[in-house]
Amino acid sequence: MGLNRSEKAVVIGEVSAQVAQSQAIILAEYRGLGVGALTELRKQARAQGVYLRVLKNTLARRAVVGTSFEGLAEKMVGPLMYGMSSDPVSAAKVLSAFAKGNDKLVLKAGAMPNYVMDEQGVKALANMPSREELLATLLGTLQAPVTKFARTLNEVPGKFVRTLAALEEKRKAEA
């Protein structure tokens, strides 16, 4: 049985709120995917903070109207699952990783604010490092010169102590 008008309004409101918080929306076709596989996908998505929902395309189109994801409306065709996340990469990573292990899930399209991607764009986004990984790399890059400088400063007294020890050994050997 379908949803009545007030239930549809509630769904549109919920999805609109999720769209407003999202930095990325990924569309995937789930035709032929079993309940067990869908449950596993939802579990993985929840663990990564990805909002995953199967929606009627008309409701999804209404939810993105007036947002920076409005360009995605023309890609909303067929039985689709919508993955939304506040991290631009995590939704693409979760759906792409699951699609690699299950050929029934097919990535169709995606969008970031004011930018619509095709399947290849979504895969490229999934291969990018996450925000945390990028920050860790940046931090390592910034710390490297400081760490090297500290080691260099510590090496001067260490070299001096080793020189004194060698001199002492030499004098003991001469005596």
Class of domain 5-128 (CATH, top level): alpha beta
Contact predicate 24/84, CB 8 Å: yes
Q: What's the order of all strands across the beta sheet hosting 24-29?
A: 51-54, 80-85, 24-29, 106-112, 115-117
User: What is the model's pLDDT at position 26?
Assistant: 92
pLDDT, averaged per 10 consecutive residues of the chain (175 residues), comes to: 80 88 90 88 90 89 88 88 89 90 88 89 84 83 83 83 88 84
User: Per the structure block, which two tokens stand in for 67?
Assistant: 């947002």
User: What is the model's pLDDT at position 1?
Assistant: 54
7-41 residue pLDDT tens: 888 888 888 888 888 899 999 998 888 888 889 98
User: What is the model's pLDDT at position 27?
Assistant: 92
Boundaries of every domain in the chain: 5-128, 129-175
